[in-house]
Amino acid sequence: MAKKILMVLTSHAELGNTGEKTGFWVEEFAAPYYAFVDAGIEVTLASPNGGQPPIDPTSILADFQTEATKRYDADSGAQTLMANTKVLSEVNSSDYDAVFYPGGHGPLWDLVDNTDSVSLIESFIKEQKPVAGVCHASAVFLNVKDADGNALVAGKKVTGFTNSEEAAVQLTDIVPFLVEDELIKKGGDYQKTDDWGVLALEDGLLITGQNPASSELAAKKLLTKLG
């Protein structure tokens, strides 16, 4: 039986009150998606609203193209899958072996306080299944509790988009909070490497990646965990 991974994307398209657009970051979806598919994993996509999740327009600029994003751009099957994501409230952790959250700024608005998402992640943890997020999506774990009722990230090695990376993209004053600050506030053992460097951490069932460049490594750690 092929292993099954659920990937959860944002449905949020507005970048605060700037009038600009946000969404998910293509590389953070594409690199993990192809790592999973190439490993023979069956991938299902979901989002809070279902259907086509918004793509962060910055992430499709030439500067941010990688082998994975180019492969996605040429992959009509993956694009069809993306256009028809399942509604998050209708997915069940028991149908999957793991869950992975790609980032982009969108998740900061619609996945951190999302009760469907929080309870879904808690179910995975209860079932002893790994959960992973990269970049801004590390924030989806902030309100998740472990089986003992403690913050999931408390005392765990975690990473996510750094304050200095947020400053570099000039969105410090636009985002609802800073991922690094909030993970530390929740008791996480927050770790980071140089801006835009590669870092993915695994602590128990929790896997987090720092930034877009770390998405493939986070995916590979998840694959290793699944065995």
pLDDT higher at 73 or 1: 73
User: What is the torsional sign of CA 47, 38, 203, 69?
Assistant: negative
Q: In this structure, how many other beta carbons lie within 10 angstroms of the beta carbon of residue 123?
A: 16
**Per-residue pLDDT for 25 more than 90?**
yes
Q: Tell me what the mean pLDDT of segment 143-153 comes to.
A: 96
User: So what's the pLDDT on residue 1?
Assistant: 84
pLDDT digits (tens, 9 = 90+) for 159-210: 999 999 999 999 999 999 999 999 999 999 999 999 999 999 999 999 999 9
CA-derived radius of gyration, the chain: 16
Q: Which 3 state secondary structure label does DSSP give 91?
A: coil
Contact assessment for residue 152 and residue 188, using Cβ atoms and an 8 Å cutoff: no
| Whole-number Å distance between alpha carbons of 33 and 173 | 31
pTM: 0.98
pLDDT band at 39 (very low <50, low <70, confident <90, very high): very high
What is the arithmetic mean of pLDDT over 90-117?
98
CA 208 to chain CA mean position, Å: 8
Q: Kindly report, residue by residue over 122-144, the tens digit of the pLDDT.
A: 999 999 999 999 999 999 999 99
Average pLDDT (46-73) is: 97
